Chain A
């Protein structure tokens, strides 16, 4: 069935490195994508979003890239810090005017000092 998934369940990086977290989606009608960060014991926190008519969007230290041809989404975190350690989820709104976010399983980012 259609789903949002992540390529890597765990990503370990050194402090100061750049991190790239990947996400594949299969619903070609999805028109809006969101990245969330979830720290231990907390609810998911909005990081950055991108609409399907864009291929790149930048925030503070984060960049989201969207490749609709291969249905791939990535989150790039520049100069990763220990405070970036968390589980990262991509989510898609199911398209066709739907506002219901569907989530992937998540990637755990571990930043070593």
Chain B
């Protein structure tokens, strides 16, 4: 089975902090994604990557950056956390068809 692991289930950070969310997949997938999920808005794509060191902006990249130094790992970075970034963050990977998701990280910025 595909396994996508996010480093934290719950995080609480202060406004202005730099926040790192880590994601690792074990299926040698080329593609990795970061989404955020908010009530009533579904899943919105923040960034994605189709190869090591490659990244592309999704629909809502503002306030975020990403890093993919190794194929199995895709990190989401909040450069200066703000309260409107309080959300559920979901990482996924795929080989080109269905994406498989991690368990999510619920981030609260206070």
- A residues with CB within 8 A of B: 32, 34, 36, 41-46, 49, 89, 91, 93, 99-106
Contacts of A101 in B (CB 8 A): 33, 92, 94, 98-99
Contacts of A104 in B (CB 8 A): 42
- B residues with CB within 8 A of A: 4, 31, 33, 35, 40-43, 45, 48, 50, 58, 90, 92, 94, 96-104
Specify which of B31, B45, B101 is in contact with A44 (CB 8 Å cutoff): B101
Contact between B100 and A46, CB atoms less than 8 A apart: yes
10 contacts between A and B (CB under 8 A): A32-B97, A34-B98, A44-B90, A93-B97, A99-B96, A99-B97, A101-B99, A104-B42, A105-B42, A106-B42
Contacts of B99 in A (CB 8 A): 34, 91, 101
Contact between B90 and A99, CB atoms less than 8 A apart: no
**Taking the nearest CB of chain B, how far is it from the CB of A111, in angstroms?**
21
Nearest residue, chain A, Cβ from B104: A43
Contact between A99 and B94, CB atoms less than 8 A apart: yes
Q: Give the complex CA separation of A91 and B43 in angstroms.
A: 10
Contact between B48 and A100, CB atoms less than 8 A apart: yes
Q: Give the complex CA separation of A44 and B37 in angstroms.
A: 11
Contact between B42 and A103, CB atoms less than 8 A apart: yes
Specify which of B41, B58, B97 is in contact with A49 (CB 8 Å cutoff): B97
Contact between B102 and A43, CB atoms less than 8 A apart: yes
19 extra A-B contacts, CB within 8 A, seeds A34-B99, A43-B101, A106-B42: A41-B104, A42-B104, A43-B90, A43-B102, A44-B101, A45-B101, A46-B98, A49-B98, A89-B43, A91-B99, A99-B31, A99-B94, A99-B97, A100-B48, A100-B58, A101-B33, A101-B94, A102-B45, A104-B42
